[in-house]
Amino acid sequence: MAATVTSLVTATEHDPDRCGSEEETRGAEAEDIDQPQQQTAPAAAVSHSRLSKLPLARIKALMKTDPDVALASQESVFIIAKATELFVEMIAKDALVYAQQGKRKTLQRKDLDNAIEAIDEFAFLEGKLCKDCGGKKM
Protein backbone atom coordinates (compact mmCIF):
# COMPACT_ATOMS: atom_id res chain seq x y z
CA MET A 1 0.00 0.00 0.00
CA ALA A 2 2.69 2.43 1.03
CA ALA A 3 4.83 1.23 -1.87
CA THR A 4 2.14 2.07 -4.37
CA VAL A 5 1.77 5.57 -3.05
CA THR A 6 5.46 6.25 -2.72
CA SER A 7 6.56 4.91 -6.09
CA LEU A 8 4.53 7.62 -7.80
CA VAL A 9 6.49 10.37 -6.14
CA THR A 10 9.77 9.32 -7.72
CA ALA A 11 8.31 10.12 -11.11
CA THR A 12 8.62 13.81 -10.33
CA GLU A 13 12.00 13.81 -8.78
CA HIS A 14 14.23 13.11 -11.75
CA ASP A 15 13.05 16.32 -13.35
CA PRO A 16 15.71 18.94 -12.64
CA ASP A 17 13.24 21.86 -12.75
CA ARG A 18 11.10 20.26 -10.14
CA CYS A 19 14.10 19.41 -8.01
CA GLY A 20 15.07 23.04 -7.76
CA SER A 21 11.97 24.11 -5.92
CA GLU A 22 11.92 20.98 -3.82
CA GLU A 23 15.50 21.42 -2.69
CA GLU A 24 14.76 24.83 -1.25
CA THR A 25 12.09 23.45 0.96
CA ARG A 26 13.60 20.07 1.75
CA GLY A 27 16.79 21.30 3.40
CA ALA A 28 19.16 18.64 4.62
CA GLU A 29 17.49 15.78 2.84
CA ALA A 30 17.88 17.30 -0.61
CA GLU A 31 20.63 14.90 -1.62
CA ASP A 32 18.05 12.18 -2.13
CA ILE A 33 16.69 14.06 -5.11
CA ASP A 34 19.98 13.71 -6.96
CA GLN A 35 19.70 9.95 -6.98
CA PRO A 36 18.75 8.50 -10.32
CA GLN A 37 15.12 7.60 -10.61
CA GLN A 38 14.47 4.32 -8.90
CA GLN A 39 11.32 2.31 -8.72
CA THR A 40 12.54 0.45 -5.63
CA ALA A 41 10.45 1.00 -2.54
CA PRO A 42 13.24 2.14 -0.16
CA ALA A 43 14.38 5.07 -2.30
CA ALA A 44 10.81 6.07 -2.99
CA ALA A 45 9.86 5.65 0.65
CA VAL A 46 12.62 8.03 1.73
CA SER A 47 11.44 10.79 -0.57
CA HIS A 48 7.81 10.38 0.40
CA SER A 49 8.47 9.97 4.10
CA ARG A 50 9.84 13.46 4.15
CA LEU A 51 6.27 14.61 3.70
CA SER A 52 4.33 12.01 5.64
CA LYS A 53 5.59 9.03 7.56
CA LEU A 54 2.13 7.62 8.11
CA PRO A 55 0.50 5.82 5.18
CA LEU A 56 -2.23 8.01 3.70
CA ALA A 57 -4.36 5.00 2.75
CA ARG A 58 -4.55 3.87 6.35
CA ILE A 59 -5.38 7.37 7.57
CA LYS A 60 -8.10 7.62 4.96
CA ALA A 61 -9.51 4.23 5.96
CA LEU A 62 -9.72 5.48 9.55
CA MET A 63 -11.48 8.66 8.43
CA LYS A 64 -13.93 6.55 6.44
CA THR A 65 -15.19 4.87 9.60
CA ASP A 66 -16.95 8.11 10.48
CA PRO A 67 -20.42 7.76 8.94
CA ASP A 68 -20.84 11.53 8.63
CA VAL A 69 -17.79 11.88 6.41
CA ALA A 70 -18.60 11.51 2.73
CA LEU A 71 -15.65 12.82 0.78
CA ALA A 72 -12.20 14.06 1.70
CA SER A 73 -9.65 15.75 -0.49
CA GLN A 74 -6.20 14.21 -0.79
CA GLU A 75 -4.81 17.30 0.89
CA SER A 76 -7.04 16.89 3.91
CA VAL A 77 -5.94 13.27 4.34
CA PHE A 78 -2.33 14.39 4.12
CA ILE A 79 -2.78 17.18 6.69
CA ILE A 80 -4.43 14.82 9.13
CA ALA A 81 -1.57 12.36 8.67
CA LYS A 82 0.94 15.12 9.33
CA ALA A 83 -0.99 16.43 12.32
CA THR A 84 -1.10 12.92 13.77
CA GLU A 85 2.65 12.73 13.47
CA LEU A 86 2.99 16.01 15.37
CA PHE A 87 0.53 14.74 17.95
CA VAL A 88 2.55 11.56 18.57
CA GLU A 89 5.71 13.63 19.02
CA MET A 90 3.93 15.95 21.40
CA ILE A 91 2.35 13.31 23.61
CA ALA A 92 5.59 11.32 23.80
CA LYS A 93 7.52 14.38 24.93
CA ASP A 94 4.87 15.42 27.44
CA ALA A 95 4.70 11.91 28.90
CA LEU A 96 8.47 11.85 29.20
CA VAL A 97 8.29 14.68 31.72
CA TYR A 98 6.41 12.38 34.08
CA ALA A 99 8.85 9.53 33.57
CA GLN A 100 11.70 11.87 34.41
CA GLN A 101 9.88 13.04 37.52
CA GLY A 102 9.79 9.40 38.55
CA LYS A 103 13.54 9.23 37.79
CA ARG A 104 12.91 6.70 35.04
CA LYS A 105 14.34 6.48 31.58
CA THR A 106 11.58 4.29 30.30
CA LEU A 107 8.28 5.77 29.28
CA GLN A 108 5.45 3.79 30.78
CA ARG A 109 1.71 3.67 30.35
CA LYS A 110 1.12 5.61 33.55
CA ASP A 111 3.20 8.48 32.20
CA LEU A 112 0.76 8.69 29.30
CA ASP A 113 -2.18 8.63 31.68
CA ASN A 114 -0.66 11.42 33.76
CA ALA A 115 -0.04 13.56 30.69
CA ILE A 116 -3.59 13.02 29.45
CA GLU A 117 -5.02 14.01 32.78
CA ALA A 118 -2.84 17.06 33.22
CA ILE A 119 -2.79 18.58 29.75
CA ASP A 120 -5.88 20.30 28.40
CA GLU A 121 -5.24 19.47 24.76
CA PHE A 122 -5.34 15.76 25.60
CA ALA A 123 -8.71 15.92 27.33
CA PHE A 124 -10.36 14.24 24.34
CA LEU A 125 -8.37 11.10 25.15
CA GLU A 126 -9.76 10.64 28.62
CA GLY A 127 -11.41 7.27 28.89
CA LYS A 128 -10.61 6.45 25.27
CA LEU A 129 -7.53 4.30 25.76
CA CYS A 130 -8.25 0.72 26.76
CA LYS A 131 -6.79 -0.18 30.11
CA ASP A 132 -5.16 -3.41 29.07
CA CYS A 133 -5.07 -3.86 25.35
CA GLY A 134 -4.48 -7.60 25.34
CA GLY A 135 -4.05 -9.23 21.95
CA LYS A 136 -2.63 -6.19 20.21
CA LYS A 137 0.88 -7.04 19.20
CA MET A 138 3.52 -4.35 19.33
Partner 1 sequence: MAERPEDLNLPNAVITRIIKEALPDGVNVSKEARRAISQAASVFVLYATSCANNFAMKAKRKTLNAGDVLAAMEEMEFERFLEPLREALEVYKKGQKGKKEVSEQKRKEKEKKANSENDKSREDEGEEEDEPMEEEAENEAEAEEEVEN
Residues 84-123, interacting with partner 1 (CB under 8 A)? 84-93, 95-96, 99, 105-109, 111-112, 116, 120-122
DSSP 34-70: GSPP--SHHHHHHHHHTT-SS-HHHHHHHHHTSTT--
Among 16, 83, 101, 102, the residue binding partner 1 under the rule CB under 8 A is 83
Closest separation in Å from C-beta 23 to partner 1: 11
Which residues ranging from 61 to 80 are in contact with partner 1 (CB under 8 A)?
Answer: 61-66, 68-80
User: Of 25-54, which residues contact partner 1 (CB under 8 A)?
Assistant: 25-26, 51-54
Long-range contacts of the stretch 113-121 (C-beta < 8 A, 24+): 115/91, 119/94, 121/90
